[in-house]
Structure 1
Amino acid sequence: MIIESLYVLAAAGILFIPAHAATGHGTAGVVNTICKDVAIIGGGASGSYSAVRLREDFGVSVVVIEKDVTLGGHVNTWVDPATGRGFDAGVQNYIDLGGAKAFFTRMGIATQPNVRSVLDTVYVDFTTGARLTNYTPPSAADRSDALRRFLAAAEQYLPILEPGWWSFPEPSQIPTDLLLPFRDFIAKYNLTSAVPQIFSTTGFGMHDLMGSLTVWLMRSFNVNLDRLLLGLDTSFVPASRKNQDLYDAILKLLGSDVLLSSTVIGAERSDQDGVVLEVRSSATGDTTRIVAKKLLFTAAPSDANTAPFELDTLEKSVLHKFEYSASYVGVVSHPSLPLNTSLVNTPSAVQPTNWAAAIPAYPYNTRFENYPNSSYYRVIATGDQTFTEEQAKAVITGSFDKMVAAGTLTQTTPPQPLEFHSFTPHCLVSAYVSRKALKCGFIQSLNGLQGRRSTWYTGAAWSVHVSTNLWNFTDTLLPRLVASL
């Protein structure tokens, strides 16, 4: 058994392979071969958390393979070089759920309650740049009543949706509500007054919020987020107001067990023999061979991300059914943008009280949201999975230019372009499949991949798209993985 032999030799510290002998990729530099119990693909919320728990709590040796220059995934924190202040463009806060706060304490990160500053809201149709003049948003009472109706409807499905897919019913038993397009679910439960709030909270991660099946909406805007908006749950942030601090602390703890700026370029996986990965560093061009008993895949299982792993026919038939939305987040500034204000993209069709029309047609920029006590603004552009960074930037600059042309904003003299201080991918997000796929047993097939070919999976495709919910799901997965070693 080739992989098993490699594992034994690497564990003994006697395996050293020249690059030309180890790979067929013609890499420069020397291949270092390392042996671990678990190789983890992706260093975002799920991958970083998994690495800490596996190594520190289960005594399992790990290596994290992360393509970016740091851990953190969708945190997307930008630090102003002039002041050192952090601005979180991606993840905004953490719901106080399960062991989330204890995990921050464990990593030495002080926390504080998340208290959002109240901004003036200006509703603007970004397709024309014109400010809405005849729009009345839902009252606080109406919005809360609708959120409570959503909560009552959603809580009954909590056991089959969270923390993951483990208890999802057979196709013939899937509740009808979950297979409704969200617009029909809204009509059934009279949730229209909550639509603008749902969209502004997390709907931007879904390129077709109203047309999405309710089962997918409930994995983006879930019970915990609803409870948070109703004041029934609480959230927290690092005292530093830099969400990246958690992942910097994890990186410091894990040390050489993290390979940054690295991607898998080849893989062998089998049920009997474990995993061999060839990993290339984009920083040095060197290749490392990793011999592991198990693989934990935490990145989005997209076609591009799974390509190096040579999926077999069954894996392709399941994972390639996933479709995604794509989001990009950034920090921008311009003297014409009003302070203490959020300019919210709101179609003119919403006037005067047509709240169901509050969702823009994609691709769109959700808002220009001023960070308190600063001249910086958060922007979020969302489209389908083909949406590119260049297109996202064009959507944002286009919405700004239209507001200037419409007189909603006053351009400077001489004119200045919108300045991007940070602009990063927050994708792929909101994995989903069709109603037909669900009715044909997709979830059961997805669960059937767990442990197959020595590969386990966690991440947003298997759980709710909120960091603390992802950690809860991962806590149910890791004991199964460890038991398989």
Structure 2
Amino acid sequence: MARIILTSVCLLLALAPFSFAADGEGEGKGKGKGSGRPVTTIHRDVAIVGGGAAGSYSAVRLREEFGVTVVVVEKDSKLGGHVNTWVDPATGRGFDAGVQNWIEINNASSFFERFGVAVQPNVRSVLDQHFVDFATGTRLTNYTPPPTADRSAALRRYLAAAEQFLPILEPGWWNFPEPSQIPVDLLLPFRDFAAKHNLTAGIPQIFATTGFGKHNFLDSMTLFLMRSFDFSMARTLLGLEANFVPVSRRNQDLYDAISDFLGPDALTSSTVTDAQRLNGNGGATLEVYNWATGTTTRVVAKKLLFTVAPTEENLKPFDLDGDEKSAFDGLYYSSSVVGIVSHPSLPLNASVVNTPAAAQPDNWVAAVPSYPFTARFENYPNSTYYRVIAVGDQTFTKEQARDVIQGSFDRMVAAGTLQQTTPPQDLTFHLLESHGPVSASASKQVVDTGIIQKLNGLQGSRSTWYTGAAWSVHLTTSLWRFTDTVLSRVVASL
């Protein structure tokens, strides 16, 4: 039985006339288009679409550091995006199914302390590993994971190979070269990049940290793989970068505190149903519908900050022009679903890892399953609960993920790897939340047409600025660093 140290980190509308109040803060009543219901109109400097990691952080920074008025529109009932904290009603203990820890970049821990959320160094849980082929439910008897020394050496080689690209990849794509000048290594499928730089022994670790958000891990272009598994993550796994967690072990605590800070400027349970955006300093008008209360708010803003994934569905209300369509149509995504489950047959103090039989005895490249897949069942220490992750392409739904997860469990029972209860019972799902679409990527052909330059060219156009994982590194605190570069430009444009 092998043992492993776990460390995953691990993101309406009637069109309204533009009539800013003299003080920029006027409130008024109107009628929603065709609804007959009153509409409250508010005026803000910046309207932020999305209250996840980037949107919540942006709201705080704009208000506190720059004295800018803001409003956040978030479809969920709370801020926080992908932290996905579930609290056991019996004990009050919190369990984070999404974000697991935070890398100390640019003194990120001070942002938590600003909101009274105490943090501590992350203590890594040591769990037994059970390697099982989830396609058959059979436990592997002849598989050897990479030795620790070999894995670390591979991660050091990855870091050395990747660091040369730091100036063009982080904190964003501001300095990214024209297509003809892109370094060849960045255009390689990751399987070829890994072979070229002798990273084979690091593939299971990189996959365990990053691949759970990518349905095509080995075939992903290295350029986009490095957006998910960035330099800071490699440094963290090598012990060169600190990482931390809230003392409470509830990542949601940060976002609940931000929600209290924003007060009525956090429009949760709300979606933009229509938008009008003008060029230059024309500003933006959004009509925002609150599905919990049935009310509509008209937001008249000088600038719009878009922080959610720029998918067709999310962009539908925003009347894209040709340049925007050309850029966004070139992106594709993965979808992951995280959950918390329990079942008496699952082993305590263990992680049951999906490992194809072809990986035996030490074919580590083959240790990556084909999508859609359940990645693992990982026990939370001192509990009977397990974190699960299922991954598929951008069409993968939460309902499909539930079936994939249950199917993985059922095959292990049928194969005798797990013992079923009497009478038989299914997994109990305590939480199941979608993390999709994630890991924005593009094909080499699309990169060759200059998609990155196209995306950069949209910044500030039609009174709209962009941040979020599609524009930067996916890890939260790295994303905050990129967001700071965007916010300085937003404020300068006001």
Q: Same fold (TM over 0.5)?
A: yes
Q: Distance in 2 between matches of 1:89 and 1:205?
A: 13
Following TM superposition, by how much is the alpha carbon of 1:99 offset from its aligned partner in structure 2, in angstroms? 2.7
- Letter aligned with residue 91 of structure 1: V
1:417-459 deviation digits (Å, cap 9, x = unpaired): 1000000111111001111111111111110000000000000
1:8 equivalent to 2:21? Answer yes
The DSSP-based 3-state class of the residue aligned with 2:399 is: helix
1:117 equivalent to 2:116? Answer no
More off after superposition, 37-46 vs 279-288:
279-288
Seen in structure 2, the aligned counterparts of structure 1 residues 255 and 63 have a Cα distance that, compared at 3 Å, is: same
- State the 4+ residue runs in structure 1 displaced beyond 4 angstroms: 2-5
Residue pair 1:79, 1:85 contacting (<8 A) in 2 also: yes
Q: Distance in 2 between matches of 1:438 and 1:5?
A: 37
The DSSP-based 3-state class of the residue aligned with 1:218 is: helix
Q: Distance in 1 between matches of 2:151 and 2:234?
A: 11
Q: Distance in 2 between matches of 1:237 and 1:105?
A: 12
Q: Distance in 1 between matches of 2:456 and 2:200?
A: 34
More off after superposition, 343-352 vs 2-11:
2-11
Residue pair 1:389, 1:425 contacting (<8 A) in 2 also: yes
Q: Which among 315, 331, 336 is matched to residue 345 of structure 2?
A: 336
Which residue is 2:263 aligned to?
A: 255
What percent identity do the matched residue pairs reach? 66
1:265 equivalent to 2:262? Answer no
Q: Distance in 2 between matches of 1:147 and 1:10?
A: 55
Q: Which among 120, 129, 136 is matched to residue 128 of structure 1?
A: 136
Q: Distance in 1 between matches of 2:314 and 2:466?
A: 13
Residue pair 1:27, 1:286 contacting (<8 A) in 2 also: no
Q: Which among 390, 394, 412 is matched to residue 403 of structure 1?
A: 412
1:234-281 deviation digits (Å, cap 9, x = unpaired): 100000000000000100101011000000000000014210001100
Q: How does 1:230-245 map to 2 (within 5 A)?
A: 230-245=238-253
The DSSP-based 3-state class of the residue aligned with 1:165 is: coil
Q: Distance in 2 between matches of 1:409 and 1:470?
A: 40
Residue pair 2:25, 2:42 contacting (<8 A) in 1 also: no
Q: How does 1:74-473 map to 2 (within 5 A)?
A: 74-271=82-279, 272-473=281-482
- Letter aligned with residue 21 of structure 2: V
- State the TM-score, normalizing by the size of structure 2: 0.95
Residue pair 2:134, 2:408 contacting (<8 A) in 1 also: yes
Following TM superposition, by how much is the alpha carbon of 1:29 offset from its aligned partner in structure 2, in angstroms? 3.0
Q: Distance in 2 between matches of 1:166 and 1:80?
A: 44
Following TM superposition, by how much is the alpha carbon of 1:125 offset from its aligned partner in structure 2, in angstroms? 0.2
Residue pair 1:10, 1:35 contacting (<8 A) in 2 also: no
Query: Which stretches in structure 2 are left out of the alignment for 5+ residues?
Result: 1-14
Q: Distance in 2 between matches of 1:353 and 1:115?
A: 29
Q: Distance in 1 between matches of 2:278 and 2:186?
A: 36
- Letter aligned with residue 444 of structure 2: R
Residue pair 1:300, 1:460 contacting (<8 A) in 2 also: yes
Following TM superposition, by how much is the alpha carbon of 1:168 offset from its aligned partner in structure 2, in angstroms? 0.6
Q: Which among 25, 31, 40 is matched to residue 18 of structure 1?
A: 31
Q: Distance in 2 between matches of 1:174 and 1:85?
A: 48
Q: Distance in 1 between matches of 2:445 and 2:403?
A: 35
Residue pair 1:10, 1:33 contacting (<8 A) in 2 also: no
- Letter aligned with residue 286 of structure 1: T
Q: Distance in 2 between matches of 1:390 and 1:69?
A: 20
Q: Distance in 2 between matches of 1:329 and 1:150?
A: 28
Seen in structure 2, the aligned counterparts of structure 1 residues 231 and 12 have a Cα distance that, compared at 3 Å, is: closer
Which residue is 1:32 aligned to?
A: 40
More off after superposition, 28-37 vs 246-255:
28-37
Query: Which stretches in structure 1 are left out of the alignment for 5+ residues?
Result: none
RMSD, aligned CA: 1.2
1:381-438 deviation digits (Å, cap 9, x = unpaired): 0000011111111000000000000000000011111000000111111001111111
Q: Distance in 2 between matches of 1:99 and 1:428?
A: 29
Q: Distance in 1 between matches of 2:18 and 2:91?
A: 53
Q: Distance in 2 between matches of 1:290 and 1:79?
A: 34
1:329-370 deviation digits (Å, cap 9, x = unpaired): 000000000000000000000000100101000000000000
Residue pair 1:122, 1:342 contacting (<8 A) in 2 also: yes
The DSSP-based 3-state class of the residue aligned with 1:408 is: coil
Seen in structure 2, the aligned counterparts of structure 1 residues 115 and 155 have a Cα distance that, compared at 3 Å, is: same
Seen in structure 2, the aligned counterparts of structure 1 residues 14 and 244 have a Cα distance that, compared at 3 Å, is: closer
Residue pair 1:124, 1:131 contacting (<8 A) in 2 also: yes
Q: Distance in 1 between matches of 2:454 and 2:131?
A: 44
Residue pair 2:27, 2:40 contacting (<8 A) in 1 also: no
Seen in structure 2, the aligned counterparts of structure 1 residues 186 and 8 have a Cα distance that, compared at 3 Å, is: same
Q: Distance in 2 between matches of 1:66 and 1:195?
A: 36
Which residue is 1:52 aligned to?
A: 60
Seen in structure 2, the aligned counterparts of structure 1 residues 401 and 477 have a Cα distance that, compared at 3 Å, is: same
- State the TM-score, normalizing by the size of structure 1: 0.97
- Letter aligned with residue 260 of structure 2: K
The DSSP-based 3-state class of the residue aligned with 2:446 is: helix
